[in-house]
A = this chain, B = another copy of it.
Amino acid sequence: MTTASDTRPDLDFCTELAQQLRVDSVVMSDRAGSGHPTSSMSAADLVAVLLGRHLRWDLQAPDDPHNDHLIFSKGHASPLYYAMLHAAGAIDEPELRTYRRLDSRLEGHPTPRMSPTDVATGSLGQGLPIGVGIALAAKELDKLPYRVWVLCGDSEMAEGSMWEAFQYAGWRGLDNLTAIIDVNRLGQTRETMLGHDLDAYAARVSAFGWHPVVVDGHDVAAIDRAYTEAQHTSGRPCAIIARTLKGRGVAAVEDKLGKHGKPLDDATAAVAELGGFRDLRVEVQRPDLGAELHRFTATGGTRPTWEVGTEGSTREAYGAALAWLGATREDVVALDGEVSNSTHSDEFASAEPDRYFEMFIAEQQMVAATVGLGVRGWTPFASTFGAFWARAYDFVRMAAVSRADLRLCGSHAGVAIGADGPSQMALEDLASMRAIHGSAVLHPSDANQVVPLMEEMADRGGITYLRVLRGTTTVRTPADERVHIGGSRTVRHDQDDEVTVLACGVTVDEAVDAADLLAAQGIGMRVVDCYSVKPLDADTVRRAAAETDALITVEDHRPEGGLGDAVLEALAAEPVRPQVHKLAVDVMPTSGTPEELMKAAGIDAEAIVALVHRVRTASEAHL
Contact = CB atoms under 8 A, between A and B. Distances in A.
Given A361-B124, A434-B561, A424 B108 contact: yes
Interface stretch (A309-317, A397-405, A453-461): A397-405
A306 interface: no
A395 to B, nearest CB: 9
A4 B120 CA distance: 66
Contacts of A431: 431-432, 434-435, 560-561
Interface in A543-584: 558-562, 564-566, 568-569, 572-575, 577, 579-582
B167 A193 contact: yes
A68 interface: no
B588 A432 contact: no
Interface string A454-483: 000000000000000000000000000000
Nearest to A203: B207
Contacts of A401: 422-423, 588
Interface string A90-128: 000000000011111011110101000000111111000
A189 interface: yes
Given A109-B424, A164-B158, A171-B193, A102 B596 contact: yes
Interface residues of A, number: 116
Given A421-B109, A424-B122, A590-B113, A394 B398 contact: no
A391 B388 contact: no
B572 A569 contact: no
Given A155-B360, A435-B428, A591-B107, A204 B193 contact: no
A391 B207 CA distance: 25
Given A34-B419, A155-B361, A591-B102, A342 B569 contact: no
Contacts of A559: 569
A293 interface: no
A498 B151 CA distance: 56
A534 B560 contact: yes
A254 interface: no
Given A207-B207, A420-B108, A193 B435 contact: no
Given A188-B342, A393-B432, 20 more contacts: A100-B419, A101-B591, A102-B590, A122-B423, A159-B160, A187-B338, A189-B346, A193-B360, A204-B204, A387-B397, A390-B397, A393-B393, A400-B588, A401-B423, A428-B435, A431-B434, A435-B561, A437-B587, A438-B588, A534-B560
